[in-house]
Structure 1
């Protein structure tokens, strides 16, 4: 058997050890080609249930299934070799009990090869995090704005704007940390609350709409690359992918209609190998 060179991925312990150290770079990924492009630049690739909205056109993440997460998780694993890959447990697949959470998480990890799962904070979820970590499954928590709770919260609204919400976010963060989470996504909170959460927990915090006070940052890649007309306030666009696609599609359409594509360079000829 020939010897193969295998890149060593970021591990759960090494990610957790980044607390207060070099900032964690994280992005979402849903396909193999995108994972391949992002992998050299990221410590963490998250197969988020946001794929329901970004890839499948759903209005929320609530309709995402375990099968969808597995399919996209397998693709991201094929396209990456370096980053730790974590996969969201979708709505309804883990909230009932720690045993349900373990069944879902173990299936996802077995069928994808991913290194961790992510869960949103809710009543009893800390117990499930402890149950999973005690059985060898690294878990990333998620506090603040919780996309899976969009129906309860009345939309995608920033959290922690009053004392009651602030205390709840802090309590959920502490419980998530004490349960053994390797990291924690903090979404849609004020810079002050993000700093409080980061100081209150021993695991690294990864912000999205939560200021640079966190130990790292994550964005939805397609938002960051400018694929959509509208992006949330907290997104900085680093490219204009939508514009580039529109220019490319318009040029292709014009060439087809003018019969200038395909041309001689794109045609096969008898007696040649090209």
Structure 2
């Protein structure tokens, strides 16, 4: 980024020399050029109307955001040379606990307002959380759906090995809400700490099915098969994002949030299967 900001000054100097202007005029114009460099249209476009950004942006994000946020991180780095986006993906509750415990981060993107509240209640956010996407549950089965699972009720069959996210994790809380809406009880073979761990159990054929997000089923490709169920509409999760109070790189963190919420960011997220926010 330093190289690009210096180029207009060199081009201006060469132009003035070719024109053969006097030394006094050259000094005066050079001074004007230096004062105008930060406001030049080319520079503004290169930084997307933001201040010049540099350094590392640390983002803590729900595990279900891994694929889409990784893609957005690459876009961000290309748009802002000199920056690097690093991610910590995991269960939103664990990430929130790490933040309140003092873990250094600039941005937090949670899979539910409840887990974001863990951070806001401690006063650890610098901006009000904003919902940027929503996500809906889906059943992930083995490829080809050999057990012929067609409903949430089918998961209660004793012969099936079913995995759920832990109840403290947003995907697990949403699954419990869907089960309660159906008046169903399900005892899984395990509770996993995040949605990717639950999905992996099916991918490795250690479980017959798991209740995960639509986005995770889509990201898994042909490793699993997805089964929609109507009760999932009763448990759609809003995903909030916020800049953190102790952010080491607040300017870049804010710019990353702006990208996530922009039309370009929403395009990446909806392509991954996320739903747009209701407002």
Q: If the length of structure 1 is used for normalisation, what is the TM-score?
A: 0.22
- Which structure is richer in relative contact order (CA contacts within 8 A, separation 6 or more)? 2
Higher-Rg member (1/2): 2
- Which of the two has greater strand per residue? 2
Q: If the length of structure 2 is used for normalisation, what is the TM-score?
A: 0.22
- Which of the two has greater helix per residue? 2
